[in-house]
Amino acid sequence: MVILAARLYKHPANIAQISKSAHNASQLSQDEAEHQIAFWWATQLSPTIGLESLRTVGLKPTEIGRLIFESLSRKEMVSLGVYTETSGHTVLPISVDETETQFVVRLYDPNQPRVVPKLIINKSTEKWSITPYVATTGTRGSIQWTGPGRLDIVPISLRSRLGNWSLLVDF
């Protein structure tokens, strides 16, 4: 869902390619919305996306923070994967501030669209946390971790090249 939100935010005129009657995302029919969410969810199965995820999931949290900072500075949208021992979730970094001691990344989370969670990365300890965080079970709280292996970033542009999705042509 976060990929669809990013695409519609960056290219609002593309709604015409999704629906003949909708002028904005809130006017999409349930079928149109479900089809688009399913299509863009399925793109995560691409080898291109998987390789980028594998490349970045091993980075230190400060390296992830730096990549987010650089990407948003270039106005390049990226998705941020957040992983626990049992699940994963994707959010969209929407802004980032860097100080001497930390990165503060504000996020769009489709599980809580009216709230702006924050990812805080401590540069000296490599500890990070997201508050508030909604688990896949619906439980609200926060998530925290120290070290690499729980975050990845993937440029939205990698999912935007429709030529990469020949497996989904008849989707």
Residues 99, 139 within the same domain: yes
DSSP classification of residue 96? E
> Mean pLDDT, to the nearest integer, of 64-83?
94
Residues 68, 143 within the same domain: yes
Residues 63, 130 within the same domain: yes
Residue 171 counted as domain residue:
no
Whole-angstrom CA distances from 25 to 21, 58, 147 are 11, 35, 37
Residues 120, 57 within the same domain: yes
Q: Each residue of 97-155: pLDDT tens digit? A: 999 999 999 999 888 888 899 999 999 999 999 998 776 666 777 888 877 778 999 99
Residue 89 confidence (pLDDT) above 80? yes
Q: What is the pTM of this model?
A: 0.79
Identify the CATH number of the domain in which residue 113 sits.
3.90.70
Residue 164 counted as domain residue:
no
The parent domain of residue 8 ranges over 2-45
Residue 80 confidence (pLDDT) above 50? yes
Query: What does the mean pLDDT of the chain come to?
Result: 82
Residues 37, 120 within the same domain: no
Residue whose entry in the numeric block shows the structure tokens 């994707």: 90
Report the C-alpha gap between 65 and 151 in whole angstroms.
10
Residues 112, 137 within the same domain: yes
Residues 53, 31 within the same domain: no
**Which residues lie below 8 Å from residue 155, measured CB to CB, with a gap of 6+?**
52, 71, 76, 77, 78
DSSP classification of residue 114? T
Q: Are 103 and 97 in contact (CB under 8 A)?
A: yes
What is Dmax (Cα atoms) for the chain? Answer: 52
Residue 152 counted as domain residue:
yes
Amino acid at 109: D
Confidence of residue 9 (pLDDT cuts 50, 70, 90): low
Structural tokens at position 45: 């199965």
Confidence of residue 7 (pLDDT cuts 50, 70, 90): low
Residue whose entry in the numeric block shows the structure tokens 């960056």: 10
What pLDDT sits at residue 74? 95
Q: Each residue of 34-55: pLDDT tens digit? A: 877 777 777 777 788 888 999 9
